Amino acid sequence: YVTSPEIARGSKIASLGLRVRRGCSYHGLNFNIDMDLSPWSRINPCGLGVKVTQMKDLLDTPVSLNEVAEYLANILTKKLGYNDHRVEGDHPLLCSR
């Protein structure tokens, strides 16, 4: 969540999903960078009653999907104790407009 003086409860900028089934884990990450947020107005994300936001609306300088992916991969690599990682911008699972 991102906190803001204008929004008492903050704004949701990302989602993390995890499921374990038959001994296999499935996981996913959603991080709002630059997208059409209008579909979010029709639901209550995670049942928390908070606004959804994106990086484009919070930063003075735009960032690309590849920049965010590389930055996030660096953080996760360090936190999970890995020594190396690779992010490919044209990977089919990296969705962009």
| Selected catalytic residue, list 46, 80, 93, 95 | 46
Sign of CA dihedral 35, 40, 46, 48: positive
Q: List, in order, residues 6 or more apart from 33 with CB less than 8 Å away.
A: 54, 55, 56, 63, 64, 65, 68
Helices (H), the chain: 55-58, 65-79
CA-wise closest residue to 57 among 13, 5, 92: 13
Active site residue 95: no
Instruction: Average pLDDT across each block of 10 residues of the chain; the chain has 97 residues. List them in order.
Output: 63 87 86 90 81 88 89 87 70 55
Torsions phi, psi for 79 (to 5 deg): -65, -35
Give residue 97's pLDDT: 46
